[in-house]
């Protein structure tokens, strides 16, 4: 499946679980790690888990292979690796601290449709 479609599925799944400030970055020209980073936050571990579970469920339904999920136990920063798309779900304070948008400032923002 095309990475842009994987990104769209994740965006809609996250939005359906009320993820906040969803941002997608096109990192193809600045990183070999992935095509897109999807970054968002939530205010509680419970909400983060709901977002993560929804993204995983919708991606698997579409036939996308989840390579790994990290940080789900702590619930402060969960990373979902789908190869060409990497999703970061933060608690609000963690997102501000790590500020991935600034770290990857050379990446182009992707216009998202909800």
Domains of the chain: 3-110 (3.30.460.10)
Q: Which residues contact 66 (CB under 8 A, 6 or more apart)?
A: 56, 59, 60, 80, 81, 82
What tokens does 104 get? 């990857």
At residue 113, the pLDDT reads 81
Tens of pLDDT along the chain (114 residues) come to 899 999 999 999 999 999 999 999 999 999 888 999 999 999 999 999 999 999 999 999 999 999 999 999 988 999 999 999 999 999 999 999 999 999 999 999 999 987
- Residue 114's pLDDT is 76
């Amino acid at each position: 499946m095309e990475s842009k479609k994987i990104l769209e599925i994740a965006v809609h799944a996250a939005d359906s679980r009320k993820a906040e400030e969803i941002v997608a970055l096109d990192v193809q020209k600045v990183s070999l790690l992935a095509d897109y980073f999807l970054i968002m936050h939530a205010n509680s571990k419970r909400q983060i888990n709901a977002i993560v579970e929804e993204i995983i469920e919708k991606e698997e339904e579409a036939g996308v292979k989840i390579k790994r999920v990290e940080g789900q136990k702590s619930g402060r920063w969960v990373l979902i690796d789908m190869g060409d798309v990497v999703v970061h779900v933060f608690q609000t304070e963690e997102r501000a601290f790590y500020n991935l948008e600034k770290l990857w400032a050379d990446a182009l923002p992707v216009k998202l449709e909800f």
